[in-house]
Amino acid sequence: MPALHDLGIAQAAVAIRSGEVTAERLADHLLARAAANAQLNAFIFLSADALRAAAKKADRRRISGAALGPLHGVPLALKDNLDTADLPTTGGTPALAGHRPKPNAAVVDKLIAAGAIVLGKCNMHELAFGITNNNAAFGPARNPYAPDRIPGGSSGGTAAAVAARLAPGGVGTDTGGSVRIPAALCGIVGFRPSTGRWPQAGIVPISHTRDTAGPMARSVADCALLDGVVTGAPHDAPPARLDGLRLGVPRRFFWENLDLELIQICETALQQLANAGVAMVEVDMSEEAVLDAEIGFPIVLYETVTDLGGYLAGHGVASDFAAVAARAASPDVRAILQSLAGAGAVPEAVYRQALEKRSRLQEAYRRHFREHGIAAIIFPTTPAPAATIGEDETFMLDGKPKPTFATFIRNCGPGSVAGIPGLSLPAGMTAAGLPVGIEISGPQGSDRELLAIAAAIETLLPPLPAPPTRS
C-alpha cells in the first residue's frame, strides 16, 4: 500500500472499508502533515477534535457491519465558501469570519451522505474574486512546488492541500477558472462540471449563471468518483478509446501569447495524443473569445450584487453587500465590490443584453463541436506557470509585463460563461519545477464523456513528482 498521504480518494476508501487502515489513523496522519506544512497556509479552519471525532464515528460504523458509502471515512478538503454546519464558512473575508451556517451546502450533504468526512476549510482568494489566492485577511496560500509562487485561485488552498498530500482530494468552486487554474498551477486534476450539474445551494455566490462547485484530486478517476457521488452518475469513468478520437485545437487565441516552456510542454502532449491515434482538428474559436470579452464581466458583476446580497439575507447575516464590500481586506477585491455598491454598478439593461449574447456564445460552441465532429477541444489551461506571490497586478511573461488576472483567466473564461464542462490535467513541469496544465472542454452535458477522455489522456502524460513537502 502507498504511504498514507499518497492515497487517493478511491484508494483511501478501499483501505478503510477493508480495515487495512482506520479512518482515525488516516485523519491523524493528515493532521500531522498539515501541521508540518503549515507554511503553505492551505487551510483557513482545521479542527483536529472535530476531524478525529468524525473519524472515530466512521470506524465504529464499519466495525458494526452497517452499510458503508463509497467515500466512507475519507477526509476531504473543502473550499471555505461551501457552507458547513459544523465549521465556519468565511468566504475568505472578514465580514464572514464568524459565519456559522445552519445547513450544509447541498454538495457537502451529498459527500457526507456517501461517508466522507470534512477535513477542513481551505484558503481562497477573498470571496472568490481573483486567481492569486493572495488573501489579505487570512494570508496567501502557497504553491507546494514553489512556496514563493501562487497556487492559483480562487480555490488555491484546496489545490495546495491536495497537491501537498495534506488531503486525498477536495472540492472547489469555479466561476471563471477557479478550479482549473489552481489545478494547473499545482499539478493536480481539476474538473468544472457543466453549469447546473452540481447543486449551487449553500455556496457563497458570485454568479448563478457562471458558478459551479467541482472536484479537485490527483487523478481523473477520483474526480469522476466525486462527480458520481454528487450527481448520481456512475462512480467510475473507464478511459475512452483514443484511436480515432477527434479533438479540436483552437490555435487562435487559446494557443497564442504563451510562455515558451509551457507551449513546448503542451505541444509535446498533443504529439503524444497524435501518436496514439487522436485526430487533431484545427478549429477557429476566436468568435467565442470575442463574445466572452463582451459579456463575461457584465454578467458576473451584476449578479454578484444580487446573489451575494441574497445569500447574506437568507442566512441572517448582519452585514449586507455594502458592508461586506467595505470590510474586504484584499485591495483588489475591495475596489471591485465597493464600485459595485455605488455608481459603478452594472445597469440592468447591460446585464440583459449580455445574457442575450450568452446564447450566441453557447450556440457558437455547439456549432463548432458539431461542424468539426469533435468530442472536445484541447488547449493550455493557463498561458503561463505560476506567478510570484505579490504580483497581483502584473507579472512578466516572456520578458513583458502582463495583467495577472486577465492573463491567467484568459483560456478558462469563454467555457465558463458558456457553461460547458472543462477539465485540467497535469501536462508536465518547467525546468524550474513548476507544473503546467492542459485543459479539455466538451459540449454542454458531456461531462461523463469528458471524464472518460481525460482518463485516457492521463495515461499518456508524464506523472508529476510529489512536491518537496515536509513529512
pLDDT tens for the 471 residues of the chain, in order: 889 999 999 999 999 999 999 999 999 999 999 999 999 999 999 999 999 999 999 999 999 999 999 999 999 999 999 999 999 999 999 999 999 999 999 999 999 999 999 999 999 999 999 999 999 999 999 999 999 999 999 999 999 999 999 999 999 999 999 999 999 999 999 999 999 999 999 999 999 999 999 999 999 999 999 999 999 999 998 999 999 999 999 999 999 999 999 999 999 999 999 999 999 999 999 999 999 999 999 999 999 999 999 999 999 999 999 999 999 999 999 999 999 998 889 999 999 999 999 999 999 999 999 999 999 999 999 999 999 999 999 999 999 999 999 999 999 999 999 999 999 999 999 999 999 999 999 999 999 999 999 999 999 999 999 999 988
Q: Is 330 a catalytic residue?
A: no
The closest of 175, 132, 218, 252 to 424, measured between CA atoms, is: 218
| Residue 457 cell numbers, joined | 489522456
Three-state secondary structure call for residue 146: strand
CA–CA separation, 103 vs 86, rounded Å? 9
Q: From CA 56, how far away is CA 186, in angstroms rounded?
A: 31
pLDDT at 230: 98
Distance CA 230, CA 73 (A): 17
178 has catalytic annotation:
yes
pLDDT at 343: 82
How many angstroms separate the CA atoms of 383 and 132, rounded?
14
Residues counted in the chain: 471
Beta strands in 193-317 (DSSP E): 212-217, 246-249, 279-282
Cis geometry, peptide bond prior to residue 319 (ω within 30 degrees of 0): no
Q: Cα separation of 79 and 353, whole Å? A: 32
DSSP 189: E
For 459, counting Cβ atoms within 10 Å of its Cβ (0-12 exposed, 13-18 middle, 19+ buried), the class is exposed
Round the CA-based radius of gyration of the chain to a whole number and report it.
21
Given a contact cutoff of 8 angstroms between Cβ atoms, the answer to whether 306 and 348 are in contact is no
User: In this structure, what DSSP letter does residue 356 have?
Assistant: H
As a whole number of angstroms, the distance between CA 237 and CA 227 comes to 10
**Do the beta carbons of residue 450 and residue 423 sit within 8 Å?**
yes
Of 117, 2, 121, 122, the C-alpha closest to 56 is 117
- 247: helix, strand or coil: strand
Judge contact between 464 and 435, C-beta under 8 A: yes
Residue 8 and residue 17: Cα distance in Å, rounded? 14
Q: Residue holding cell 447543486?
A: 199
Give 193's contacts (C-beta < 8 A, 6+ positions apart): 212, 213, 214, 227, 231, 421, 447
For residue 373, with 0-12 CB atoms within 10 Å meaning exposed, 13-18 middle and 19 or more buried, which class applies?
exposed
For residues 210 and 214, give the distance between their C-alpha atoms in angstroms, rounded to a whole number. 12
Q: How high is the pLDDT of residue 471?
A: 83
* Catalytic, out of 79, 110, 121, 402: 79
Closest C-alpha among 77, 80, 57, 104 to residue 168 = 77
For β-strands 435-441 and 169-174, DSSP reports them as unpaired
**451: number of CA atoms within 13 Å, CB side?**
28
Q: What is the set of domains in the chain, with CATH numbers?
A: 4-458 (3.90.1300.10)
Pick left, alpha or beta for residue 101 (phi over 0 → left; psi -120 to 50 → alpha; otherwise beta): beta
- Annotated active-site residue in 178, 330, 416, 441: 178
Which helix H or strand E contains 120, and what residues bound it?
strand 117-122
Active-site hit among 47, 154, 207, 219: 154
Please give the C-alpha separations between residue 67 and each of 72, 115, 211, in angstroms, as whole numbers: 10, 10, 34
Residue by residue, DSSP assigns 55-108 as: HHHHHHHHHHT----TTTT-EEEEETTB--SSS---TTSGGGTT---SSPPHHH
